[in-house]
Amino acid sequence: MSNTQPKKILLHTCCGPCLTHVYSVCSSFYDVHVFFYNPNISPRSEYQKRLAEVEYFCTVNSIPVTIAQYNPKEWFNAIKAYRFYGERSERCYACYAFRLEETFRYAREHNYEAVCTTLTVSPYKDAQKINEIGKELSIKYQVEYIESDFKADGGYKHSIELSKQYGMYRQKYCGCIYSKLERKKTSLWSIKMQARQDSKPVAQ
């Protein structure tokens, strides 16, 4: 009989609904510890709502969870140069990197064997870019990164089904204030953003 212990991994978690599916996959292979670090979420009341769903899921399933600091100013400083770029752009890459860097830092400090993230369950996020960032941070912090594309094979649909079963709150925007404003093409923010993009010189 093998007495090999499952690898202890730190799972960066963006929200409860995404966690449902990812945990159902990862817990078959790993000893999963949840890490909630999302200073991108705005406003604070929305942050509290998403956090409450993660805490609820972890309590019901007896999953250890660490709630990291909520430091939106530092997050803003990391992405501000790209704030007008829209979703799935450099703004989001900087946002993924900011959250994953803290996850790796914590994993290294607390001797986790690997890092993974729920971010790739969303069809709105760039899994390839997330994995590239994860691999770079893995080298920097000398902690293994578990590559993923959790939306594949019906993963995203499964997260919706599970979150309904748990009666979870499902957010209607990615997280930052910009993603909230960009949902409305007629918002002042969207108009301003579009004007900036239209005024960029076109490459010949």
Residues that bind ligand SF4 (CB under 6 A): 40, 79, 87, 91-92, 95, 174-176, 178-179
Nearer to ligand SF4, 100 or 176 (CB): 176
Shortest reach from residue 87's CB to ligand SF4, in Å: 5
CB 150 within 8 A of CB 118: yes
- Asked if residue 155 lies in contact with residue 125, where contact means CB atoms within 8 angstroms, the answer is no
Spacing of C-alpha 30 from chain mean position: 19
Q: Which residues contact 190 (CB under 8 A, 6 or more apart)?
A: 181, 182, 184
Minimum CB separation of residue 35 from ligand SF4 in Å reads 17
Smallest separation (angstroms) from ligand SF4 to the CB of 175:
3
Q: Which is nearer to ligand SF4, 91 or 151 (CB)?
A: 91
Give me the least distance between CB of 120 and ligand SF4, in Å please: 12
- For ligand SF4, give the closer residue by CB, 30 or 178: 178
Minimum CB–partner distance for residue 97 and ligand SF4 (Å)? 10
Q: How far is the CB of 41 from ligand SF4 (least distance, A)?
A: 7
E strands in the chain: 7-12, 30-36, 65-67, 114-117, 144-145
Rounded CA-CA distance 150/9 in Å is: 16
Whether 114 and 143 have beta carbons less than 8 Å apart is answered as yes
136-146 burial string, b = 16+ CB within 10 Å, else e?
ebbeebebebb
> Tokens representing 83?
């704030």
Q: Cβ closer to ligand SF4: 110 or 183?
A: 183
Judged by beta carbon, residue 18 or residue 63, the one nearer ligand SF4 is 18
User: Which is closer to ligand SF4, CB of 30 or CB of 98?
Assistant: 98
Do 126 and 160 meet the contact criterion of CB atoms below 8 Å apart?
A: no
